[in-house]
Structure formats: structure tokens, C-alpha cells
Amino acid sequence: MRIVILGAGQVGGTLARNLAREDNDITLVDLNEDRLRELQHKLDIKTVLGSAAHPNILITAGIEQADMIIAVTDSDEINMMGCQIAYSLFRTPTKIARIRSRYYYDYPQLFCNEHVPVDVCISPEKLVTEHIENLIDYPGVTQVLEFAEGKVLLVTIKPQSAGVMVGKTVEQLYQHLKPIETRVVAIFRDKIAIAPQGDCEIMADDDVLFVASPPAIQQLLIALGRYTHPNRRIMIAGGGHIGTKLAQALEKKYRIKVIDRNLAHASKLASQLHKGTVLQGDIADRDLLVSENIEFTDVFCAVTNDDEANIMSCLQAKRLGARHAIALVNRNAYVELIEDSPIDHAISPQLITIGSILTKLRRGNMIKVYRLQNDEAETIELITHGDQLTSQVVGRQLSDIKLPPSCSIVAVVRGEKLLMANPQLVVESDDHVILLLLKKRYVRQVESLFQVNLAFTS
């Protein structure tokens, strides 16, 4: 696939790195010559120096032959203009743009080929809000992935040293969890995937990936001793775009407080909330946190635009007694540092955005793709089509499907029903199949496997 990427920042550079590994023809456009030189030295890609909003630059980048344009510069307007030029002049088939400003989302009718030709708008703020909300809804997990419109969840749980999982084999764990309908689909040990055979022993610091329905996940957390104290009190540090969206989403279910040092931001947010409390002050002010009962706070979320402020305020909140802390961080180096700190979760808008964009690039009826922690494994949701004559999957038992190496089907959603994978389960047309791919280099084989031949028409 020929792909032109506008913007060589963290998102654009990481996208180029991932897509180049999958044998795509990538051209990267940016105004930063040093950044382009660095990426071209590391990757098998083309680079073009210049403005992403100039037609001649896009022509040099090969937009006339491109199958797709992905606009992820720091400017919403340049991203939209790049897509406009690509479609109006060259009829580029697929246009993806990162749009940060919430004001554009108030007018979704803008985004169509007749007006602003963007096929897929990616909102980092919306994605981050949903991600944090999931972590709060399911205390004790380190990752929550949704499939089939929320009917299926894959959650990652890190065993506690004195918890019920450590020292048990997978089979013993199943006995402990009966009658909860769940499966261990993968175990990551030092970021290396281990097949969860029945005799595989779970160790402290493993990351254990479970699949289940949302109600079963709640039961799972209770059985593992992770749900003894449900989250009720949430404190949000930062009343910007993400803080506002998060507060509006959470106030329906939790008691929330928001702190912002900017009086205008605080006043505006207070008028937008129905139940939440908004405070004007410094998120690093120890006396303010103590006066607002930080020691009784279940989750402290720092979501300002300042990575260092988010990290330091989370560390202080934990020291003062907050049960959980979530920090928004933009720099990848900080994400890795936080893994060994008291902070429970580091949220990277760039990595979440990249995962969302990668979903849009998949073929073969893939509708969701998530990268797992080692960046080598993926979980994928596909919709099946065809019949036994036109499909390699439909009408066959799972045991008869010729999956590529390191790939396994973990669950099937049929209508409203979740079916756990078993060898005798027969796949039907329009099923939502959830699979785990431990080595993403086989993704093209997965795409081919789930395609139907030309004789099939939906």
C-alpha cells in the first residue's frame, strides 16, 4: 500500500516505523529537516521536506499514486487542508486526519467529500477520555480493551505477590474462578508472550490477559481480590480539553473534584458540570490536596499539558494517601520511567492515537486492532462473511481453521451472545471473531484468511 504521512512528530514517526515494517511504501512529509533525516536513516521510507498544505509538496511525496493519506501534523487546519488537496486534486481513496479541537466535532457534517474530505477523524482527547474511564471502571487492571461494541473485554491484570494468582497454574486458576466464564488468552513475562497452557505457572510481575464479558470481568476482579474497594471519589488535576471531557463523563457515576490553576478555565468548567466540584488552585499545592481529603481519594488523574507537573502531582498524591494515580504523559521516555514508580498508570495520547489509526489501515473485514504492551502482539476483531464455499472460516470448526503461526481465536460474538473459543465451535457468517496475534508480521495472512472470494456478494 502507498501511504503518505503528513507530520513527522511522535505519532507520524511511530506510524511510519510500524507501517514500513509491514512492507508498505511510506513517504513522510514535514518541515523539520533534522527529524526527517533521523527517521530516513533508521527506516526504509522516503521523506519530503516542506509544508503539508502545499500541492507541489504532496505531488513530490507521490500523492498522485497514493492509496491513503494520514495527516497527523500539530495543526488541525493543515491536516484538513492536506486531505482536501489530496481528494480535490488527486482523488486519494482514503483520508485520515487527527483533529484535536472539539469545536470541529460539533459539526460532523463538515467531514464528507463534498465539504472537508476526511474519511476518518481521530480525536486524541476522546480516545484518552475513554481509556481513562475504562481504567477507573475496572479497578485493579492495567489495560482494558473493548470489542464488539463493549460486549467483550480483554483486560490485563498484574498478579500481586501475595495474591491468589501467584504460584497457581492456569488450570488451578480456572478451578479457583469457577463458575466465572473467562479465559486466560496470554501471559506476558518481561514483555515476552507465553502460551497459557494448563500447566503454565503464573508468577509475580507477569501480565495476565483475560477475556470475558463486562459482568464477568467484575466477578473476576472480585474473585481475585481486586474489587474490595470500588472507586467512588475521583480527583482530576487539569481542566483543559481532556480534563473537561473526563469530568463530564465521570460525574454521572462518581463523586468528582477538578483542580485547575487558571481561574477562567475553572469558572467555565464549573458552568459545564452538573454535580462535580471545581477548584481553582495549583495541582502541586500540598495544603490544597490535604484540605480536599486526598487521603480518601480513590483515583487521582493528572491530565494537564505538562508531563512533569502530571508526574510530580501523581507522586505527591500517592504519598498523601490516594489509592490510585493516573498520569497523562506525552514523552515515551517518561512512560517507561513510570513503570517502576508508585504511579499506577501512564497514559500516552500518542500511543493511543497510533493504535486507533492502525485499526483503520487493516483490511479483510478487520474493525478493531489493539497493540499489546510489547508492541509485537495484536488483538484483532473481524467480521466474517460468506459461506463454506466462499470463505476459509465460515462453516468450519475452530479446530479446522488454518490459522497462521502464533495466532489463536479467543472468542466469538454472535448477535448479543459471547461464545468462548473451543475446538468444536463453528463460525457463522456475520460473527465477530476476536483473535490474538502474538507476532504481527503474520497480520497479512490473517487478512487473507478472513477474506471471501469474488463469488460472494453481501
Q: What is the DSSP letter of 119?
A: S
- Start-end of H helices in 22-169: 33-42, 55-60, 76-90, 102-105, 124-137
Q: Which residue's entry shows cell 466462499?
A: 390
What domains are defined for the chain? 2-122 (3.40.50.720), 140-223 (3.30.70.1450), 233-351 (3.40.50.720), 362-449 (3.30.70.1450)
pLDDT of residue 458: 46
Distances, alpha carbon 233 to alpha carbons 131, 261, 297, 415, in Å: 18, 21, 5, 36
Side-chain-facing half-sphere of 306: CA atoms under 13 Å: 14
Exposed, middle or buried: residue 59 (CB in 10 Å: 0-12, 13-18, 19+)?
middle
Residue 342: is the preceding peptide bond cis (ω within 30°)?
A: no
Q: How much is the pTM?
A: 0.83
The single-letter DSSP state of residue 415 is: T
Residues 156, 142 contacting (CB under 8 angstroms): yes
Per-residue pLDDT at 140? 83
In this prediction, residue 228 carries a pLDDT of 62
In the prediction, which pLDDT does 457 show?
A: 47
Rounded Cα–Cα distance for residues 366 and 451 (Å): 10
The values of phi and psi at residue 397, to 5°, are -70, 155
Strand order across the beta sheet in which 207-212 lies: 143-147, 152-157, 207-212, 183-189, 192-194
Count of residues for the chain?
Answer: 458
| CA atoms within 13 A of residue 450's CA, in its CB half-sphere | 26
pLDDT in tens, the chain (458 residues): 899 999 999 889 988 988 888 788 999 999 999 999 999 999 999 999 999 999 999 999 999 999 999 999 999 999 999 999 999 999 999 999 999 887 887 888 889 888 899 999 998 888 999 999 999 998 888 889 999 999 999 999 988 877 889 999 999 999 999 999 999 999 999 888 888 888 999 998 899 999 999 999 999 999 998 766 778 999 999 998 899 999 999 999 999 999 999 999 899 999 999 999 999 999 989 999 999 999 999 999 999 999 999 999 999 999 999 999 999 998 878 887 887 789 999 998 887 888 788 777 766 578 888 888 667 788 999 999 999 889 999 999 999 999 999 899 999 999 999 999 999 999 999 999 999 999 888 888 998 899 887 554 44
**CA-CA distance, 441 to 183, in Å (whole number)?**
25
For position 376, what pLDDT does the model report?
77
How far apart are the C-alpha atoms of 245 and 127, rounded to whole Å?
10
Q: Which three cell numbers stand for residue 44?
A: 526504509
CB-count burial class (<10 Å; 0-12, 13-18, 19+) for 333: exposed
